[in-house]
């Protein structure tokens, strides 16, 4: 239960960070590999450092040290999604959880170990508006970015 609460808190904080305007001093790029950049910020209340890997400079695709997120905020919201990693068959359709619907993002924690070792991930989502969106994401530099965050402890 504790780990579920911690993951939920990290997800909400990470996705909220994507919509918050931050100055360069508050959030800065500290690493880049391939298509991935690691952004770092400091919590103003605890001074704890936090890192998020983002895809091609956009916050709609992002990852922490153990979770991968695809935001549908501003793209129709989230109803359900299917994941395909590399050339493997697509996973079964997942209905978005209440949390995923509220924050408008698919949370791929269980899939993370497979994503970490992959070269490409495709996420096909059905939006709350009943439209289909496909995100085809190159993972070039992803593993190195995650390793960087794990080494830095952020």
* 67-86 exposure pattern, b = at least 16 Cβ within 10 A, e = fewer: bbbbbbeebbbbbbbbbbbe
Q: How confident is the model at residue 6 (pLDDT cuts 50, 70, 90)?
A: very low
Please state, in angstroms and as integers, the Cα–Cα distance from residue 139 to each residue in 6, 32, 35, following that order: 25, 13, 7
Q: How confident is the model at residue 17 (pLDDT cuts 50, 70, 90)?
A: very low
Domain range for 148 is 2-152
Task: Give the dihedral sign, CA 113/90/76/139.
Answer: positive
51 burial via Cβ count (<10 Å: 0-12, 13-18, 19+): buried
* For residue 149, pLDDT beyond 50: yes
- Residue 146: what are its φ and ψ, rounded to 5°? -65, -45
* pTM of the predicted model as reported, rounded to 2 decimal places: 0.83
Number of domain units in the chain? 1
Q: What is the pLDDT of residues 83-98, one digit of tens each?
A: 999 999 999 999 999 9
Q: What is the percent of the chain with per-residue pLDDT over 70, rounded to a whole number?
A: 84
- The residue whose two tokens read 């391939």 is 34
CATH assignment at residue 46: 2.60.40
């Amino acid at each position: 239960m504790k780990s579920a609460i911690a993951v939920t808190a990290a997800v909400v904080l990470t996705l909220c960070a994507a919509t918050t305007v931050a100055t360069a001093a508050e959030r800065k790029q500290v690493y880049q590999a391939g298509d991935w950049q690691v952004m770092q910020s400091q919590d103003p209340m605890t001074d704890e450092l936090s890192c998020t890997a983002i895809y091609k400079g956009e916050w709609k695709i992002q990852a922490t040290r153990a979770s991968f997120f695809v935001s549908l905020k501003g793209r129709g919201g989230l109803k359900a999604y299917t994941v395909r990693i590399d050339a493997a068959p697509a996973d079964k359709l997942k209905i978005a959880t209440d949390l995923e619907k509220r924050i408008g993002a698919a949370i791929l924690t269980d899939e993370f170990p497979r994503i970490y070792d992959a070269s490409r991930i495709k996420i096909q989502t059905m939006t709350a508006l009943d439209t289909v969106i496909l995100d085809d994401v190159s993972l070039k530099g992803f593993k190195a970015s995650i390793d960087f965050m794990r080494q830095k402890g952020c």
